[in-house]
Chains A and B, each alone.
Chain A
Amino acid sequence: MKLRIEVVAVDSLMVRLFERIDEANMPWILAASQCLRAAFGQHLLDLVPSYTTLMVHFDLPPAEARALIAQALDGLQPDAGSAGRRHEIPVWYHASVGPELPVLAARSGLTEGEVVRLHSEREYPVFALGFAPGFGFMGLVDERLASPRLSTPRKRVAAGSVGIAERQTAAYPAVSPGGWNLIGRTPVRLFDHEREGYSLLQPGDRVRFVAVTRDEFLALGGDVEAQG
């Protein structure tokens, strides 16, 4: 692994660890994240991990920050042990809440049941959070489920909607506009500023979606309102 430190703003540097999206990046990014938090302490304003990078936002002279990053990440080893928490997220897969479920099935020549099985049988790492509070970019889904974003994004996607874009998957924590292919909905609350840690998903966590029935979805507090 060849590490680069790049300028991005007056008070921020980008640590570039990889060139490609790969599940194997995550233990490295988590380990680097922990080293940087420890090294910067209260001088760290924010640390933004993504697929291949970590953005460090600090209140130190940039030269000092750069030296601190280099020192903290010298001899970095991947964090195999604490590779994030595991979550099981219940999803009611159904066309009434996931209008692209039949579309994906038709496009790939699969039955809806097979689409559900393929989506729920893998465990996905959370590569990064972004787009909205608690929105975790996960992947990679089976190649047969890969789908381009909608050419016209929806103005309103219901909270809990589970979708696919290319080979990534995610659940919308709150109502928002969105262009992902929706295949179901979870009753789980993904972001709550009154909960410890705020976001259910954290970078590096691992997620498995579990198919539930409409009744189970409703019993868990799910809302069946239609997509906008």
Chain B
Amino acid sequence: MKQLTIEASNALCQLQDAGRFGVRHLGVTQGGALDWVAMYWANWLLGNSLAAPVVEVALGGFCVVAQHDCVLALAGADLDARVDDQPVAPWRSFALGKGQRLALKQPRQGVRAYLAAPGGFRGEAVLGSCATVVREALGGTDGQGAALGEGQLLAFAGTPATLREVPDALRPRYHHKPVLDLVMGAQLGDFSGTSLYQAFNTDWTLDSRADRMGIRLLGPQLVYQGAPMISEGIPLGAVQVPPDGQPIVLLNDRQTIGGYPRLGALTPLALAQLAQCMPGAQVKFRAVVQDEAWREQQQYLGRWL
């Protein structure tokens, strides 16, 4: 067993994995890494199972000291990571010697970085997952849903792998204005014609009102003309439109049922891209059909086979 001591942390530094499944009918949310692609790569670098528990760090402010010589991996946002003041770029594994300090300071590109350890970080699996959901008091290192805190220990027990990088051609690019694929949902036709045009031809701006439940987008006011809805299950990535006409993309910690009309749902790849966008950034939606999106997802997953 090896350990890291957390020297700096905040509410946005959390233990995450792929989240909880088979419990949504009980009102339990999914949780899990917002950028699953970066989580997969961080684990891949160490030969872990792709959804082994990782530390999700949003925006920086996280620092650990190694209690033993170890190998870790970093993927996702460039948060100006340093090992004892020497820069470490993401998308690679690296050695951290006993007593050395790894700090993730501030965003240079992207928002969320994923730190992995051999075999995955130890957490208390609750309902089949270590995913931290503060609101539901589930998951994390203690099982009670707390974010990582200063002074806590992060433990892992896997065997260190040879150092390696994610091949450049396979790394996700964090575009200035990403185009996000949106699987068209059944209520799409109940929005006004103008709203349909606007939905897919507007540069939507990410509001600062954003958390792991959802991200609000600012732009033209979309008008829903259908009948009032009765609450129903909400899939990951659903783009719901409350009465103020400003869409909200629902993320991993969303509520399980809700009654606002939806344009559809972003694809998993679009969600990974969105997770790396800062408030104030602009995004566009592109309408795709379900079958096409499914095929694209299967093809993308092929890179880890």
Write the residues of chain A forming the contact surface with B, with a CB cutoff of 8 angstroms: 6-12, 14, 20-21, 45-55, 57, 61-63, 128-135, 137, 174, 176, 191, 193, 198-199, 202-203
Contact of B127 among A9, A14, A135, A198 (CB under 8 A): A198
Indicate if the CB atoms of B267 and A14 lie closer than 8 Å. Answer: no
A51-B233 contact, Cβ under 8 Å, with A10-B294, A133-B136, A134-B27:
no
Q: In the complex, what's the smallest C-beta–C-beta distance from B102 to chain A, in angstroms?
A: 32
How many B residues, CB 8 Å from partner? Answer: 41
Indicate if the CB atoms of A199 and B27 lie closer than 8 Å. Answer: yes
Chain B contacts for A48, CB-based, 8 A: 24-25, 232-233, 256-257
Indicate if the CB atoms of B237 and A130 lie closer than 8 Å. Answer: no
B265 within 8 A of A: yes
Q: In the complex, what's the smallest C-beta–C-beta distance from A165 to chain B, in angstroms?
A: 12
A9-B231 contact, Cβ under 8 Å, with A131-B255, A198-B23:
no
Indicate if the CB atoms of B232 and A9 lie closer than 8 Å. Answer: no
Indicate if the CB atoms of A133 and B28 lie closer than 8 Å. Answer: yes
Query: What are 9 residue pairs bridging A and B, where the CB atoms are less than 8 Å apart in the complex?
Result: A8-B233, A8-B235, A9-B183, A10-B265, A10-B267, A46-B23, A47-B24, A55-B232, A131-B256
B186 within 8 A of A: yes
A50-B232 contact, Cβ under 8 Å, with A8-B185, A9-B265, A10-B267:
yes
With the chains together, A130 CA to B22 CA distance in Å?
14
Indicate if the CB atoms of B27 and A129 lie closer than 8 Å. Answer: yes
Contact of A7 among B127, B184, B267 (CB under 8 A): B184
Contact of B233 among A50, A63, A131, A176 (CB under 8 A): A50
Q: Indicate the member of B28, B126, B236 with the most A CB atoms within 10 Å.
A: B28
Indicate if the CB atoms of A130 and B235 lie closer than 8 Å. Answer: no
Chain A contacts for B24, CB-based, 8 A: 46-48, 57
Write the residues of chain B forming the contact surface with A, with a CB cutoff of 8 angstroms: 21-28, 126-127, 135-138, 183-186, 230-238, 255-258, 262, 264-265, 267-268, 290-291, 293-294, 297
Smallest CB gap from A135: residue in B: B27
Q: A-B pairs with the 4 shortest C-beta distances? A: A55-B233, A48-B233, A6-B186, A9-B235
Chain B contacts for A7, CB-based, 8 A: 183-186, 264, 290
Q: In the complex, what's the smallest C-beta–C-beta distance from A128 to chain B, in angstroms?
A: 6
With the chains together, A174 CA to B135 CA distance in Å?
10
Chain A contacts for B256, CB-based, 8 A: 48, 129-131
With the chains together, A202 CA to B26 CA distance in Å?
7
Smallest CB gap from B126: residue in A: A193
Indicate if the CB atoms of A55 and B235 lie closer than 8 Å. Answer: yes
With the chains together, A149 CA to B23 CA distance in Å?
27
